[in-house]
Chain A
Amino acid sequence: MPEEENGNGKNGKQIGLLERVKAGVKDDVQSLKTDLPAKAKEQIEGLKDPTKTQVFTSIFRHKHDDTPRNRALGVLSNVFLHLHPAKINRDAVRYSYTWGMGGITFYLFIVLTFTGVLLMFYYHPSKVQAFRDVLYLEHDVPFGKLLRNMHRWAAHLMVIAVWLHMFRVFLTGSYKKPREFNWNIGVLLLVFTLLLSFTGYLLPDDQLGFWAVTVGTNMARATPLLGHEGPFGKMLGMTPYNDVRFGLLGGSIVDANALLRSYIWHCIGIPIVASVLMIVHFWRVRKDGGISGPAPVMLTSEADKPRRSA
């Protein structure tokens, strides 16, 4: 075994513990004398130009001067934006063509999530409390009426926007190859939007919502196979106490279980599934070649210049 590893010098002289500590302290003092001013200088330099500091570059990972590369990196290096294409044809986002309805729908979903979570701070999904909480929000909670109405109107608008989005996609033939798969995802998202609207209807626990859900779930009695009044339902032993309606309501009537169930589906179950489908939907828009667009527009000012190939 080499002698150095035992703490012995090459000349064989034993270096004692005290000497080693002394040497260490000396090193530390020396480094304080030289490194501290250097670090301070670095900090001051950083204040002069914060974009050069390690903290800054760890957060913002590329330059931001306006070059095509940086604009692309701004999208690519952001977790929220990277589902989008870094660049698109300007003709593809003409509002007269897209109506912007998909984007508006998504924006309304964000508004609904935000206002909905705030409403959850005051709402109890129980028969005794629910309607009182709605009145409390309306009359006593600061900005409660505003939040509730934002949630309500955004919900109505989202249903309308989804239909208009579907109508636009249909009119422009954007459901055709290669976008058939995404059309189907969109149909599912439409269904989930309507289910969100329907489950939210019961939550105020007022007469309107109660009877709407009574009517809506009574239709489920006629479900084929799984409803006790539907085709083949009786043959499979369906009764009002074990069919699909019973599973939706958690009982044979619209009562406390039904209120709690629609609350959970409304606030947790459906939003999660819809969010996943939205991610797939947006991702597929890009993978299927971006927003389907009209023939590219040539501006008169650019007519004499060669067009860059896509």
Chain B
Amino acid sequence: MWSAVVGFLVAWFIAFFRFFLPRTLFEPATSFKIGYPEEYGLGVDTKFQQRYRIWVDRTPDRIFVIYARCTHLGCTPDWKPSENKFKCPCHGSGYDSEGINFEGPAPRPMDRAKVEIAPDGQILVDVSRLYQWPKGQPSQFNDDGAFLRA
């Protein structure tokens, strides 16, 4: 008898917690196209910051996409062209033009999103697959998919 009561209550308790984890979400798409590689010049391009929370970054030999989330506690840093750095408004983390942290509380460089060339020649970005460079661990920034050859 008591085990039935306890079982009932435990079942409700579990259901109560499961209730808070929805099955379906209505969140922005994590995969999207951002145009052709030729459209991007050297340096940081902020045109998709508002829409997709990314910066497209081109160095002499690579194009990669930085996911615009501070690695400290998740605010969106600002690109400061005059200082050639990213600066987080929340707690002051600073990153150089390739998203490598050099000041403030950020524990690692900003993550980079997976990039590939879609069949139509455009750059396809997937921010659900992120490449990291955790402190004291090997960098994933040179892995396949972390960058495109320019």
Which residues from chain A sit less than 8 Å from chain B, CB to CB?
A: 211, 214-215, 218-219, 242, 246-247, 250-253, 255-257
- The yes or no answer to B61 lying at the interface (CB within 8 A) is no
- The yes or no answer to B20 lying at the interface (CB within 8 A) is yes
Residues of B within 8 A of A246 (CB): 21
Which chain A residue has the least Cβ–Cβ distance from B30?
A252
B110 CB to closest chain A CB (Å) equals 14
Query: Of the candidates A211, A215, A253, which one forms a contact with B27 in the assembled complex, judged by CB atoms under 8 Å apart?
Result: A253
In contact, A255 and B75 (Cβ under 8 angstroms): no
Instruction: Map CB proximity to A onto B88-110 as digits: 1 under 8 Å, 0 otherwise.
Output: 01100000000000000000000
The CA-CA distance from A41 to B26 in the complex, in Å, is 74
Residues of A within 8 A of B73 (CB): 214-215, 218-219
The CA-CA distance from A148 to B115 in the complex, in Å, is 47
Residues of A within 8 A of B90 (CB): 211, 215
| Tally of B interface residues using CB under 8 Å | 13
- The yes or no answer to B8 lying at the interface (CB within 8 A) is no
In contact, B74 and A218 (Cβ under 8 angstroms): yes
Which chain B residue has the least Cβ–Cβ distance from A247?
B20
B107 CB to closest chain A CB (Å) equals 11
Give the 6 A-B residue pairs with the shortest CB-CB distance, closest first: A218-B74, A215-B73, A247-B20, A218-B73, A214-B74, A251-B25
User: Which of B17, B27, B74: most chain A Cβ within 10 A?
Assistant: B74
In contact, B22 and A252 (Cβ under 8 angstroms): no
Residues of A within 8 A of B26 (CB): 256
